[in-house]
Each structure stands twice: as C-alpha cells, then as structure tokens.
Amino acid sequence: QSVLTQPPAASGTPGQRVTISCSGSRSNIGDNPVSWYQQLPGTAPKLLLYTNNQRPSGVPDRFSGSKSGASASLAISGLQSEDEADYYCAAWDDSLSGVVFGGGTKLTVL
Amino acid sequence: QVQLVESGGGVVQPGGSLRLSCAASGFTFSSNAMHWVRQAPGKGLEWVAFIRYDGSKTYYADSVKGRFTISRDNSKTMVYVQMNSLRAEDTAVYYCVKHGGSGWYLDNWGQGTLVTVSS
C-alpha cells in the first residue's frame, strides 16, 4: 500500500489532454513539494517535474504540474505515442522522515 | 553529464548479505546528497535510503531500517548500501539516485542493478 495514492491506469488518444492525480496527506504533499517521474518500458525512471511544476531542461512544456492542499496532479497535453509510460509522484514525508512514492499510473496512448 | 553506475547485484540466499556500489561522475559528488531507490519485479518505486553530502545524516525506509546501511566515500565518488539479513521481499532492481535539491526530488538515476533473494 503506497503512502501516496494514484490511479493505476489512465489513457488517451493522440493529441488529447490527460491528467493523473496524486493524493496524500498533510505530512507529505500538504507540507512539501511534489515531484513526478516518467518510466518508459524497460528503462530507469526519469525526473519529469520537480517542486510541483518545474520542468528540468529537456522536458517538453506539454508536461505540467499543480498542487492544491494535499493533492497534486500531472497534466499531459498534446498526447503523443511516446508518452506511453508509467508515471510516479513523490514527496518527502515529515512523519516518516523519508521519501514516499505513489503506486504509479500506467498511461496508455490508444 | 551525470553518470551513476551501480554494481554488486546478484543472487543471494535469504538471511545473506550483499553490498551494492554506485560510481558517480559528471558532477561535484562531495556537494550532493544521494539516495537508493528500489523496484520489485512488476511493481512500483520504493525509496530505500538517503545520505547527506558529507555522510553526516542518513534516513531509511522502515522496511530496511536496522538491516541496510548507506555510506559514501567522497574521495572515490562512490556511494554504497550494505544489505544484511536479506529477505525474499528485498528482491528488486536497486537504483542509485542523485538528490536534486531542497525540494527533495531525485534528479538523476542510474540504470539499476538486480538483487534476487532466493534459496
């Protein structure tokens, strides 16, 4: 059971906008910034967004993030086939004194 | 560019020990904190441990506390995790990850090394 809650699956067609939610509590998302990771099939995870909505260099602006209270979301606009991957949210948890991850969302591009 | 190369994975019996190593390059290692994160086959990501840039502070997941020890050698730009009393549930790909900053994000990941705990 993951500390952060994500839907196990999401899907969309090319060009669509999809969102993936991440729900936590005050001790993690509520009081700390959220990061998002993309894991393409058979590869290591890659940082997608940090500090809620900041993109590392090289990440397209089709990817955006937001946070409200103890929840966060990742939005992908102009969906492309290469976006098909697993997506994870994460945050520091003050109560656990550790990083906590969501269970991951498998995104399928139909 | 940042490179993180893990080694030391393999098959070990339950109750056994293993030490994973991570060779870091392409950044000022001695100024950056590091993490280990693992992923069981077909499962999600699980954070394992953190070590501050100077080794003065460490944190562990409850699932490994008392069994795993993270350490580093800044002169060799290496980070390690000593894993004792291994259990079947420790079977996973272990990733060495560079700490990104005050926002507690993980900005560079190695390719991982597989640890299999099985008799």
Q: Confidence class of residue A1 from pLDDT cuts 50, 70 and 90?
A: confident
Selecting from B35, B101, B112 the residue whose C-beta is nearest the C-beta of A44 gives: B112
Average confidence (pLDDT) over A27-47: 97
Residue B101, pLDDT score: 79
Residue B102, pLDDT score: 79
Average confidence (pLDDT) over A51-57: 96
A45, closest residue in chain B (CA to CA): B109
| CB within 8 Å: B106 and A101 | no
In sequence order, which residues have a C-beta less than 8 Å from that of residue B71 and are 6 or more positions away? B51, B55, B79, B80, B81, B82
Selecting from B47, B100, B101 the residue whose C-beta is nearest the C-beta of A101 gives: B47
| Residues A8 and A107: beta-carbon distance below 8 Å | no
A105, closest residue in chain B (CA to CA): B44
Residue B118, pLDDT score: 97
| CB within 8 Å: A88 and B44 | yes
